[in-house]
Amino acid sequence: MKREFNIAVIAGDGIGPEITDAAIRVLKKVGEKYGCKFNFTDVFAGGCAIDKYGEPLPKASVDACLAADSVLLGAVGGPKWDTLPGHLRPERALLGVREAMGLYANIRPARLMPELAAACPLKMASEGVGFDLVIVRELTGGMYYGERGRREGKYGIEAYDTECYGTGEIERIGRVAFEMARGRRRKLTSIDKANVLESSRLWREVMHRLAAEYPDVEYSDMLVDNAAMQLVRDPGQFDVIVTSNMFGDILSDEASQITGSIGMLPSASLGDGKRGLYEPIHGSAPDIAGTGKANPLATILSAAMMLRLSLDMPEAADDVERAVSEAIRAGLRTADIAAGGPSIGCFEMASAVVERI
Ligand code: IPM
Ligand code: MG
């Protein structure tokens, strides 16, 4: 078994540095306990890279990510860079690194933690009904990577973006989702807009072909507008969701919000190999950056996903997740999940997790 891992760390902007520091402290503790070594390399991407190098994703940063066993990312972006042209915005760094690393599968779990049910905006939570779902979002295709441009049109200058998916692209994300469903409650919902979009009709055809290969998984299709509604009406009906890049972007924000604790949700982006990119679902929260108030748990749980999915350390992953649950159960809260009650800071929360590993 491998005992030394090289982790590229894109701390990024806003609260990024604080929350990645917290996750690094946790990984160091894991290293001590499980007898392995993590080497961390700082990588510049996003707004801080624009400030330092004049571009959101310098080639050296891409190379560092490609050379690592895995990548830990805090968050990128902030109001300071919001007025830059599209190709120079911090968000380009995310799209660029996903593409360069071939990370076509974005795994976004959304689970209602019983201890935090009070923060859930849905009535069902107060009635004791929970949910535990995973969104598998296609991450390197569709409209976010399609042909785009501007041209002269009937109403003046017009702009266009195109949604295009190939059979192989749909099949590989479909397989990730079917396999994921197999490891969970064996239920998969594919979300599309097949009543309107040709790309969705192909998506559905391919998913149906795959469904025949996975008879043990209960498969269904759902239109995206209905899915947006079902997610707030009865999220407990979902186990695994698979969908396109854009629909997944939108629905995963909705899913994270209904947990009431977006500061707790990790994510993984994977390709064909073992290497992945792990980041919290939330953004760079410029309003609280530098105040020490950020919730590091989503980033710490992202590190746990890295241990499980990329570094073959499932026990250590369980250990970190248990430590987080215990800290929550002990009543420790950062301000975002404290519902107005007493709270601790980012550093203290990380210490509470480290102590429990
Ligand atoms: C996300 C973000 C990004 C995306 C943006 C910042 C490019 O919204 O990770 O969901 O759309 O993928
Ligand atoms: Mg998003």
Same domain, 139 and 190: yes
> Could you write out the DSSP letters of every residue in 134-187?
EEEEE-SSGGGTS-EEEEEETTEEEEEE-----HHHHHHHHHHHHHHHHTTTSE
Spacing, Cα 4 to ligand 2 middle (Å):
32
CA 283 to chain centre: 11
Q: What is the pLDDT along the chain (357 residues), one digit of tens a residue?
A: 778 999 999 999 999 999 999 999 999 999 999 999 999 999 999 999 999 999 999 999 999 999 999 999 999 999 999 999 888 999 999 999 999 999 999 999 999 988 888 888 888 878 888 899 999 999 999 999 999 999 999 999 999 999 999 999 999 999 999 999 999 999 999 999 999 999 999 999 999 999 999 999 999 999 999 999 999 999 999 999 999 999 999 999 999 999 988 899 999 999 999 999 999 999 999 999 999 999 999 999 999 999 999 999 999 999 999 999 999 999 999 999 998 899 999 999 999 999 999
- pLDDT of res. 105: 98
- pLDDT of res. 339: 85
The position carrying tokens 């890279």 is: 49
- For 43, 111, 250, 262, 318, the CA distances from 256, given in Å and listed in that order, are 27, 8, 10, 5, 22
Same domain, 166 and 251: yes
How far is 81 from 45, CA to CA, in rounded Å? 13
In a domain, 141, yes or no: yes
Same domain, 136 and 96: no
Could you give the residue numbers annotated as active site?
144, 193, 225, 249, 253
Which region, left, alpha or beta, applies to residue 54 given φ > 0 means left and ψ of -120 to 50 means alpha?
left
The CATH number for 288's domain is 3.40.718.10
How far is 75 from 46, CA to CA, in rounded Å? 8
How far is 215 from 208, CA to CA, in rounded Å? 11
Same domain, 68 and 141: no
- The secondary structure of 47-62, three-state, reads HHHHHHHCCCCCHHHH
Ligand nearest to the CA of residue 92, numbered in listed order: 1
Please tell me the total count of domains within the chain.
Answer: 2
- Considering only CA atoms, which residue is closest to atom 1 of ligand 1? 249
Same domain, 196 and 84: no
In a domain, 320, yes or no: yes
Same domain, 208 and 304: no
Ligand nearest to the CA of residue 144, numbered in listed order: 1
In a domain, 201, yes or no: yes
Best of 91, 279, 284 to mutate for ligand 1, by most ligand atoms within 8 A of CB? 91
- Considering only CA atoms, which residue is closest to atom 6 of ligand 1? 91
- Compute the 3-state secondary structure of the chain and give helix, strand, coil in percent, each to the nearest 5: 45, 20, 30
- pLDDT of res. 127: 82
Each residue of 226-243: b (16+ CB within 10 Å) or e?
A: ebbebbeeebeebbbbbb
Spacing, Cα 249 to ligand 1 middle (Å):
6
In a domain, 161, yes or no: yes
- Phi, then psi, of 209 in degrees rounded to 5: -60, -45
Q: Which atom of ligand 1 is nearest to the CA of 94?
A: 7
- pLDDT of res. 258: 92
Spacing, Cα 2 to ligand 1 middle (Å):
32
- Considering only CA atoms, which residue is closest to atom 8 of ligand 1? 249
Spacing, Cα 183 to ligand 1 middle (Å):
27
- Phi, then psi, of 168 in degrees rounded to 5: -65, -35
Residue type, 194: A
Please identify, among 201, 232, 257, the residue that sits at the C-terminal boundary of a domain.
257
Same domain, 3 and 84: yes
How far is 92 from 90, CA to CA, in rounded Å? 5
In a domain, 233, yes or no: yes
Same domain, 93 and 136: no
Same domain, 222 and 323: no
Q: What is the pTM of this model?
A: 0.94
Q: Which atom of ligand 1 is nearest to the CA of 95?
A: 7
Same domain, 140 and 247: yes
Spacing, Cα 213 to ligand 2 middle (Å):
31
- pLDDT of res. 38: 98
Say if ligand 1 is within 6 A of residue 99 CB: no
In a domain, 110, yes or no: no
- Considering only CA atoms, which residue is closest to atom 11 of ligand 1? 249
Best of 94, 246, 302 to mutate for ligand 1, by most ligand atoms within 8 A of CB? 94
- In 10 A of CB 9, how many CB atoms? 23
* Range(s) of the domain holding residue 214: 132-257
Say if ligand 1 is within 6 A of residue 91 CB: yes
Same domain, 66 and 166: no
